[in-house]
């Protein structure tokens, strides 16, 4: 087909003068990537994060980095399931904050300020916050994660009840800060929390009325489900008392491995409120923890002990969440981010990569060793 000269000329000139701002191909240190900048002061491609996400093509299959400059973004943000391979990079988790307020009824995960429905997602240096504070404490997640192969590095999650809705899929939370009071790390997720700070605080609510809070509420429903929560080298602090958890479903699995537990952890450790008649099958394990809250002499006697094989398999990221090496294959931030971090270096140690993962990058395998729990 012949293209008329006038149209050809028009297209050529148009493309010479019109360089779409949001699709800047950036040659990163690993592979070419698209970088989208979100900046409230108007120096980026978008001033709202959701608009940047909307601009990602559906069924995206190449990593796209969205850099979110410092600012409090008052938005409810969603990464839909047809937009995988997004890497979200804030300036600093103290200064790049996504904040909304929603909650109250029974549709808990949907109230989240930030929801990830897509597989293959990574976020760094961003805080997600839900500031919904009705008269009585209600479900109000800061983030809900439904996707598989999702990692958060040096991120913050701030809320009161159900703060981090770790709903479904294999996840890594590395060097994160998680603040809440009631069931504030909960869901059917298959996750490792590595080097995180867990801060129990009742926010605007009076903890003398509400009593001790609950850090975890893990929802493994059957013996075949592969999910569970593993906390390695985390620090549990706060200014309200809390149970380490209350198993949310019969076969709940939670492991605290070499954590620092401050004196806010109640001596009983665990609460059976959700599984009262089935206390034998929930596994809650504390291995080599330290600190005044780690004394196990008054811990509850119910619950199933993990055998050595099951425990080792949960503790090893490569057998529990990273069987197909998706973690090594997520992109690090682009050089621009590294330069910024270098210039504003605060000698922080909180942004880390688990030593196990500082390795070669292997091709993705097709295995999917993750069994969806059934939900009634
Ligand atoms: C925990 O949260 C409280 C209340 O927001 C705050 O005062 C305290 O500094 C936090 N602790 C840490 C270790 O961040």
How many residues can be counted in the chain? Answer: 376
Distance 260 CA to ligand 1 centre (A): 16
Please tell me the distance from the alpha carbon of residue 71 to that of residue 92, in angstroms, as a whole number. 10
Contacts 24+ apart (CB under 8 A), 211-214: 211/241, 212/240, 212/241, 212/242, 212/243, 212/266, 213/180, 213/181, 213/182, 213/184, 213/240, 213/241, 213/242, 213/243, 214/182, 214/183, 214/184, 214/242, 214/243, 214/245, 214/246, 214/271
Of 132, 74, 128, nearest in space to 103 by CA? 132
* Residue ranges in the chain whose pLDDT is less than 70: 1-33, 335-376
Note the helical H segments in the chain.
Answer: 5-17, 49-54, 207-210, 308-315, 317-320, 335-343
Residue 351: the pLDDT is 38
The residue nearest atom 8 of ligand 1, judged by CA position, is 238
Q: What would the two tokens of residue 136 be? A: 């009585």
**Which residues form the pocket of ligand 1, taking CB atoms under 6 Å from any ligand atom?**
179, 197, 199, 201, 237, 239
Q: What phi and psi values does residue 287 have, to the nearest 5 degrees?
A: -120, 120
Residue 327: the pLDDT is 96
Give the number of other CB atoms < 10 A from CB of residue 29: 11
Summarised one tens digit per residue, pLDDT across range 287-338 is: 999 999 999 999 999 999 999 999 999 999 999 999 999 999 999 888 665 4
Please tell me the distance from the alpha carbon of residue 193 to that of residue 122, in angstroms, as a whole number. 15
Please tell me the distance from the alpha carbon of residue 149 to that of residue 58, in angstroms, as a whole number. 18
243, β-bridge pairs: 214
Cα 116 from chain centre: 9
The residue nearest atom 4 of ligand 1, judged by CA position, is 201
Please tell me the distance from the alpha carbon of residue 298 to that of residue 124, in angstroms, as a whole number. 39
Q: Which residue has the tokens 């009634």?
A: 376
Residue 7: the pLDDT is 56
The residue nearest atom 12 of ligand 1, judged by CA position, is 199
Prediction pTM value = 0.85
Residue 333: the pLDDT is 84
Q: What would the two tokens of residue 178 be? A: 């998680």
Q: What phi and psi values does residue 338 have, to the nearest 5 degrees?
A: -65, -40
Q: Among the atoms of ligand 1, which is closest to the Cα of residue 238?
A: 1
If one residue of 158, 163, 179 were mutated to test the ligand 1 pocket, choosing by the most ligand atoms within 8 A of its CB, it would be 179
Element (H, E) at 64: strand 64-68
Residue 360: the pLDDT is 37
User: What residues contact 134, with CB distance under 8 A and at least 6 apart?
Assistant: 103, 104
Indicate which residues carry an active-site annotation.
162, 183
- Provide the 8-state DSSP code for 244: E
Distance 72 CA to ligand 1 centre (A): 19
| Cα end-to-end span (Å), the chain | 58
Residue 340: the pLDDT is 47
Distance 71 CA to ligand 1 centre (A): 21
């Amino acid at each position: 087909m012949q293209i008329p000269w006038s149209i050809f000329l028009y297209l050529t000139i148009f493309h010479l003068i019109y360089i779409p701002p949001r699709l800047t191909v950036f040659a990163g240190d690993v592979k070419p990537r698209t970088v989208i900048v979100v900046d409230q002061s108007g120096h980026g491609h978008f001033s709202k994060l959701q608009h940047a996400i909307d601009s990602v093509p559906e069924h995206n299959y190449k990593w796209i980095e969205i850099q979110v400059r410092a600012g409090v973004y008052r938005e409810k943000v969603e990464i839909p399931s047809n937009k995988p391979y997004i890497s979200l990079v804030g300036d600093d988790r103290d200064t790049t904050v996504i904040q909304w307020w929603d909650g109250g009824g029974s549709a808990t995960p949907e109230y989240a300020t930030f929801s990830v429905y897509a597989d293959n997602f990574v976020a760094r240096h961003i805080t997600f916050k839900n500031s919904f504070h009705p008269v009585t404490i209600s479900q109000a997640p800061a983030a809900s994660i439904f996707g598989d192969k999702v990692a958060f590095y040096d991120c913050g999650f701030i809320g009161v009840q159900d703060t981090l809705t770790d709903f479904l899929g294999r996840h890594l939370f590395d060097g994160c800060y998680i603040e809440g009071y009631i069931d504030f790390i909960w869901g059917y997720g298959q996750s490792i929390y590595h080097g995180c700070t867990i801060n129990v605080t009742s926010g605007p609510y009076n903890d003398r009325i509400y009593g001790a809070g609950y850090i975890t509420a893990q929802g493994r429903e059957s013996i075949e489900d592969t999910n569970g929560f593993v906390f390695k080298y985390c620090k549990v602090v706060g200014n309200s008392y809390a149970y380490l958890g209350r198993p949310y479903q019969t076969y709940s699995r939670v492991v605290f491995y070499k954590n620092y537990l401050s004196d806010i952890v109640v001596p009983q450790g665990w609460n059976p409120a959700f599984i009262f008649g089935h206390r034998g099958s929930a596994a809650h394990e504390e291995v080599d923890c330290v600190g005044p809250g780690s004394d196990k002499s008054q811990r509850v006697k119910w619950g199933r002990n993990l055998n050595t094989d099951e425990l080792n398999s949960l503790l090893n990221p490569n057998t529990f969440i990273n069987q197909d090496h998706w973690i090594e294959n997520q992109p690090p931030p682009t050089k621009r981010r590294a330069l910024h971090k270098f210039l504003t270096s605060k000698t922080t140690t909180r942004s880390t990569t688990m030593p196990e993962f500082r390795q070669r990058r292997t091709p993705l395998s097709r295995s999917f060793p993750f069994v969806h729990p059934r939900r009634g």
